[in-house]
Each structure stands twice: as structure tokens, then as C-alpha cells.
Amino acid sequence: MDTHWSTETSNSFATFQTADFQLTKIDTGNWRLRILTQRGNAWVRVNGPAIDINELTLSLQAANSFLGRARVNGLCTEYVGPFGRSLI
């Protein structure tokens, strides 16, 4: 099973049911990050930039940094690209 789609727990795999964030490339060359879950919102409040909305515009470098930190902490992101959607 692809580890991008699941996390290993004890002797089995638990599948992500919903993404915490959604990342979409926008026309300006930047990326739009939407917070989709309460878990994602709580994590951003502690670990991310101070925001009052559930959407951020990020550079490619900032998006990569954010995704890396979120993923290390067990959060899941839905990437919306030119060829469809995938979970990371």
C-alpha cells in the first residue's frame, strides 16, 4: 500500500479519510493552501503563520516547507494539479 495514502499503526494500515489541507496552483505562479479540517486549523494555529482565514497564498518554497512540516506531524494534504488530485 502506498505510504502517501496511509499511516502505519501497530500491525495494520489506517487509510486517510479526508485531507487536512488542499493545495492548488493559482495563475500568479503561487499556491493556494486551504485548511479543510479542524485538526488542520488547530495545527496551523500552533505551527503556521498567524491567520484569521482558512486560506493562504504561498510561494513554491513556502508551500514545500509547509507541506514538509505538516506531513512530518501526520497531517494529510490533497494536491490539486493539472492531471487530477492526489493525497500527500
Question: Could you tell me which residue, 14 or 21, shows the higher pLDDT?
Answer: 21
Average pLDDT of the residues of the chain: 79
Q: What is the mean pLDDT of residues 42-48?
A: 84
| pTM more than 0.85 | no
| Structure confidence at residue 44 as a pLDDT band (50, 70, 90) | confident
Residue 12's alpha-carbon distances to 37, 74, 76, in angstroms, are 24, 16, 18
User: In 1-88, which ranges are E strands?
Assistant: 6-9, 12-15, 21-25, 31-35, 55-58, 77-81, 84-87
Q: What is the mean pLDDT of residues 28-47?
A: 90
Strands 77-81 and 21-25: parallel
Task: Please report where in the chains the cell 496551523 appears, as a residue.
Answer: 44
